[in-house]
Amino acid sequence: MKRIIALTAAVLSFNALMAQEDSVVVAKVISEEPISGGTSEKSLSVGKVKFKPYGFVRNYFYYDSRQNIQSNAGLYNQIPKDESWNETHDEDLNDVSTANFLAITSRLGLDISGVRALNADLSAKFETDFCGFASSTTMLRIRQAYMKMKWQHNSILAGQAWHPMSGDLPDVLGLASGSPFQPFSRSPQIRYDYTVGKMRYTLAAIWQFQYKSVGPNGKSDEYQTKAIMPEFFIGLDYANEKGFQIGAGLDMLRLRPRTIMDFPYEKKIFVNDTTFNEDNSIAEVNEVEKTVTDTTKRVVKEYAFSVSPMMFINYKKDKFLLRWKGVFGQNTAHLNMMSGYGVVGFNEDGTRDYAPLRSFSTWLNLSYGSKVKGNLFLGYFNNFGARKAIVGDLYVNGASNIDYIWRVCPAITYNVNKLTLGLEYELTSVGYGTRNIFGEANADHTVANNRICAMIKYAW
């Protein structure tokens, strides 16, 4: 008993001593660090580790002239829904306006740096907001959470960060950041960058988490995890000191839509063969062996492959900024784009063949100003369908009968100190039609949505 009391006292004394030491360290570590723009931000250091908090409180008001494909309580807005006529065909049930005001995109983040290991500079980022993606739209969620090791020419990032296809987001007010024209995803990944001179080469292995592929069981990450192989991205870009940057990349995805199938087989059963007398009385009952067809569950190995190249250009000079991106997408549903894949063949062994839907999306973003900044976003999307006829199920994110989408989105923002006021108008038009056997639609009518978005944000 005495030994236990002595040990407890020693532990408490040690903890008290450490608490005193930590308080002394923290009291001395408030420092000023310059950031871009010539201002300075306070960072907290504990020993060699530096902590730099950041974030903002952001409030959105939006108005939509009709129902849309959207999420995050309407803040993440993509395209207007197709017409949905009532039985008498005199009223479109999706022609209903909505409006809302929310602050759930308010964000908290922490940058960590200042430590070296393995001759590399170590850093980390943790970032969260309140746009939960489960049954509640107001739960805390991880946006980014990664660590990074950086050498002179090489760096390795491990954790959840922006998908390489989602880099260079357009400068718009809407939470969707140009989606569905712009790939949009933050994903767990291991990314390697090699920089030499003005060139940077990128190789990444990526897994799905919040943004998922579509398949027989709806949206799920199981199609990738059961395919074992991660999604791969390779890219390169060139940037000079005059504000010009150009780059290209290639994204490769393998999915396993099904792992179990119903497989037919023949089995033998015994049935009673009864003979009757002339007076309908039973004369004889014999057991007869018969062969019947039944089904059993079998593990199936079948895969859906897709390859998506992209290219981008950035140019910045003084207060002017130009950004452009083009994506030839194949099955880019996991990037929050209007895409997917379908069954194009049935094999004798019970497996299926798949082909991705192909599309081309592009956008241009122009902005000018600092305190008062004007912005213009233009986007276009076209669905080309699959290379082969779809003879089975079609799995699509969004609507399956889209021919084209276009968007015009002007905005103006006023920035003073840490306060930003913004007003944005977004006109999105979709050409809907009848889908052919290749998954391509020929538009026979258009549906448009007018969105007005107002934002007020205080950042630190």
Contact (CB, 8 A) for 432 and 445: yes
Per residue in 155-197, pLDDT (tens digit) is 999 999 999 999 889 999 999 999 999 999 999 999 999 999 9
Q: Are 245 and 239 in contact (CB under 8 A)?
A: yes
Sequence-distant (6+) residues with CB within 8 A of 89 are: none
Rounded Cα gap, residues 125 and 120, in angstroms: 16
End-to-end CA distance of the chain: 54
Three-state SS at 132: coil
CB 187 within 8 A of CB 167: no
DSSP letter at 166? G
Token pair 């990349």 in the structure block, residue: 249
Structure tokens at 89: 């065909």
| Cα–Cα dist 444/115, whole Å | 60
With left for phi above 0 and alpha for psi between -120 and 50, is residue 112 left, alpha or beta? beta
127 C-beta neighbours (distance < 10 Å), count: 20
For the chain, which residues score pLDDT lower than 50? 1-40, 137
The number of angstroms, rounded, from the C-alpha of 242 to the middle of its chain's C-alpha atoms is 32
Q: Which residue pairs from 229-234 have beta carbons closer than 8 angstroms and sit at least 24 positions apart in sequence?
A: 229/254, 230/205, 230/206, 231/187, 231/205, 231/206, 231/207, 231/334, 232/203, 232/204, 232/205, 232/206, 233/163, 233/164, 233/165, 233/202, 233/203, 233/204, 233/206, 234/202, 234/203, 234/204
Of 109, 106, 105, 107, the C-alpha closest to 43 is: 109
Q: What's the CA gap between 161 and 192, in Å, rounded?
A: 13
Structural domains of the chain in order of their starting residue, each with its CATH number: 52-254+306-459 (2.40.160.10), 260-299 (no CATH)
53: tokens are 């908090």
What pLDDT does 275 receive? 75
Tokens of 324: 């452009």
259 Cβ neighbours under 8 A, 6+ residues apart:
226, 299, 300
CA distance 243 to 256: 42
* pLDDT, position 8: 43
**DSSP characters over 53-68:** EEEEEEEEEEEESS-E
* C-alpha distances out from residue 165 to 75, 189, 395, Å: 22, 12, 22
Question: Do residues 369 and 417 make contact, with C-beta atoms less than 8 angstroms apart?
Answer: no
User: Quick check: 233 and 206 in contact, CB under 8 A?
Assistant: yes
Give the Cα separation of 360 and 365 in Å (integer).
17
